[in-house]
Structure formats: structure tokens, C-alpha cells
Amino acid sequence: MKHHFDTEAVHLSEGNFVTSSSKINPIYQTTAFTFSDLEDLEGFYQGKSKYLYTRTGNPNTDELAAAVANLEGAPAGVATSSGLSAIFAGILSVVKAGDHIVATNDIYGGTYTLLAHELKDFGIDVTFVSFENREEIIKQIKPNTKLIYTESITNPLLRVENLEQLVEIAKEHNLISMVDNTFATPYLLNPYLKGVDLVVHSATKYIGGHSDVTAGVLVGHEDLIAKARTKVVNLGLNLNPFEAWLGTRGIKTLSVRMERHVKNAQVLANGLKGHPGIRKVYYPEFVSEKGNGAIVTIDITGKCDVSKFFKSLSWVKIVPTLAGVETSVSYPLGTSHRSLTNELREQLGINEGVVRISVGIEDAEDILAVFQDALNQSIL
């Protein structure tokens, strides 16, 4: 039946024009999925069909979650709108009002703010403690403690967490363990395979890999992920299809990118040690047979003008994030950790000289040269 122009304009393009199988999963850039009749619609609620509305699920977000879960060796995962929303969903899958969390004190500033301030409004209490001392961790565990939280490589001072100890404590005290594995990535570490219950990634970083995606992924035990997925749906923490598609595309080159990132970071860390403008070079050791990570953090001495150092970085970008293919730097005191108290920053060693370097995939000699030159130019 022929329709008027206005109707044809709306519906003409709705036919199925796919005549062959796509090599790459298409982008399901749609808010909702259609049903042939009411019986078909009811079938969704009976588990006979998978998709209803993109907030409740989408093939692209499911593909990203499944890919990260597979790399981590976990049975299930859920994709979210950011790393922080993945952390939030993971926490709410375990704790409720009246419960308590024990967390390491040397975590990413955004996570610290979420745990220390925002969770209070949910009636959730958090105690921060150094995870370097096993007895100090145990001392903070209360009868209402439900979750123990840390990062596999901490941000920004790159302490490598003792995951075996974490799992041991969690099992001894009947706690759920949760680890942010963003810095290590599944390329270097698989916390779930070591016994960690929930593993979270800011897929904005190395999973996406090209500084054009904001996303998070939480993986772990199926029962916990089912609860987390409910939180994602009901709190609107879902990821949009295009971002998920970009994240999945990024995973395809994760291994080759990380190989170069890690090798370059080792060259930079070794090359900067002993420079008169640097008090300390932070770089992990014994993370994995594949290497020790792609982040190098330096503590510039008072012999250097920090402001001039940043101005002298030539082609290196100053950003509040990390993990793109381009080498970049961030200033924790002025960005990621600015909300921390002066006392805590001093306790952790995050001072005006601390600079976090996200090492890119450029030529290692060029990366080392630009930092040596910036340091030399900034010496007073």
C-alpha cells in the first residue's frame, strides 16, 4: 500500500538491506528493539529474547563486556558508562546501607572521593588503610565489613598490590574482594584467576586505547555481575552502543599496544634514574613476565621549576588522564588527587613535584630525550 510522502520519508529506510555477514559486529545504534506482537514482547520478560531497550542491554555493550571478561578469565561482565560507574555498580552489588568497606588509601583520587564522600549518602562506611601491612588491614575489619577494595597497580605511585594476600584475607573473613586492574590490564595481570571476586577496568584507558572512548567494564562471579547489571540498568549507568563498539575495536590491538607501551616505559624509567632533577622514579617491578606496566611516575626535586618542566615538554601532551597511544603527562596534585586532604597527600607522597607519565608507543629514544631535555631546561 502506497503511503503519503511524510510517511514514506520516515519508514522507507527501515527495510533489512543486509545481504551478507559483516566481518565486524555492526553498531546497534538504537534506543530500542522491536517486537512482532504482544506475545513476542512478553517473550522478552520470559527470557526468550535478549534485548528490549538499550539501557537494559545492547549487543555492542554485551560484546565489550564479554571480551574483557574473557581476557580476565571471568565468567561474566557488564559494561558501563565510565570506569567510576563500573566501580560504583560493583560496590552496590556487594554492600548496602549499614555495611562497611576496607579500602587501600593509595588509590585513584576519583575513586577515593566516591568511597570517602558519595557512599556516605548511601549509608555505607569506608575505612582507608595502607595495604602494605597485613595486620593493619585485618585490624580495620568489622562485623559489618563486606568488601575489601584495592588496585592491582596503584595510581599514581605504582605500588603493586599483593593479590594473594588480599584474597587470603578476604576468604578468612568472608569478604568480597574487588580490584581495579586498569593500569596492569589483562595483558599483564588477571586478578580473577588469582581468586579476586570482582575486577574493574576503566576501559577509557588501555582497553579503548586511543583516547576516544569513555567506558567501564566490571567482570567477576556470575551472581555478583547479575546484581551489578541490575544496578547499571536501574541507575542508568549503561554505556552507549558506539562507545562500546569503539572499546571492542580497541581490544583487538591491546596486546600489540601494551607490548610497545611496556617496553618504552622500562626504557624511560631506566633512563631517568639518577637525573639530578629527579628525587625518585616510581616504576613497578615483578608485575608480570611480559613487563611492569606502561606508567612511570617521577618526583621532581626542588632543584627544578615544575612549571617550566611542563612548559618544556615539546610534543608531549598535558592531560588529566592516561593510556592513549601518545605519550602524555598528568599532574596528580592539580587534577586526579586535588580533592584529597593535604595530610593524606603528604602521607602518600603526592607532592608538588610528582608527575605521572603515560608512556606511548612512539620511539623509546625520542620519549626519553624529550623528558631529559625538559628536566634540563627546568633546572634552576
Residue located via cell numbers 612511570? 296
Same domain? For 246 and 261 the reply is no
Look at residue 27 and tell me if it is in a domain. Answer: no
Residue located via cell numbers 527501515? 14
Same domain? For 188 and 199 the reply is yes
Structure-block grid coordinates of residue 369: 630525550
**Residue 186 sits in a domain of what CATH number?**
3.40.640.10
Same domain? For 85 and 177 the reply is yes
Same domain? For 73 and 222 the reply is yes
Residue 268: what are its φ and ψ, rounded to 5°? -65, -45
pLDDT at 347: 82
Same domain? For 66 and 167 the reply is yes
Query: Quick one: DSSP state of residue 53?
Result: B
Domain boundary pick from 251, 267, 283:
251
Structure-block grid coordinates of residue 55: 539501557
**Measuring CA to CA, how many Å separate 83 from each of 199, 229, 235?**
11, 14, 15
Q: Which parts of the chain register pLDDT below 70?
A: 1, 5, 9, 12-20
Q: H or E element: which one contains 102?
A: strand 100-104
CB 281 within 8 A of CB 267: no
Supply the angle between the helices 59-72 and 241-251 in degrees, to the nearest 10: 30
Same domain? For 213 and 99 the reply is yes
Domain boundary pick from 251, 275, 308:
251
CB 162 within 8 A of CB 136: no
Look at residue 199 and tell me if it is in a domain. Answer: yes
Q: How far is Cα of residue 23 from the mean position of the Cα atoms in its chain?
A: 28
pLDDT at 81: 98
**Residue 338 sits in a domain of what CATH number?**
3.90.1150.10
Look at residue 45 and tell me if it is in a domain. Answer: no
Give the domain extent around 316: 254-378
Query: Quick one: DSSP state of residue 331?
Result: -
pLDDT at 13: 58
pLDDT at 22: 84
Same domain? For 68 and 196 the reply is yes
Same domain? For 324 and 195 the reply is no
- Count of all residues that appear for the chain in the document: 380
Structure-block grid coordinates of residue 78: 557488564
pLDDT at 337: 82
pLDDT at 15: 57
Helix (H, G, I), strand (E, B) or coil at 107: coil
Amino acid at position 339, single letter: S
What's the total number of domains in the chain? 2
Q: What is the pTM of this model?
A: 0.94
Residue 112 to residue 115: CA distance in whole angstroms: 5
C-alpha dihedral, 287 to 292 to 295 to 298, nearest 10°: 90
Look at residue 336 and tell me if it is in a domain. Answer: yes
Domain boundary pick from 251, 269, 301:
251
Look at residue 139 and tell me if it is in a domain. Answer: yes
Same domain? For 278 and 298 the reply is yes
Helix (H, G, I), strand (E, B) or coil at 161: coil
Same domain? For 311 and 169 the reply is no
Look at residue 38 and tell me if it is in a domain. Answer: no
Same domain? For 80 and 119 the reply is yes
Residue 287 to residue 285: CA distance in whole angstroms: 6
Look at residue 1 and tell me if it is in a domain. Answer: no
Look at residue 130 and tell me if it is in a domain. Answer: yes
Same domain? For 270 and 244 the reply is no
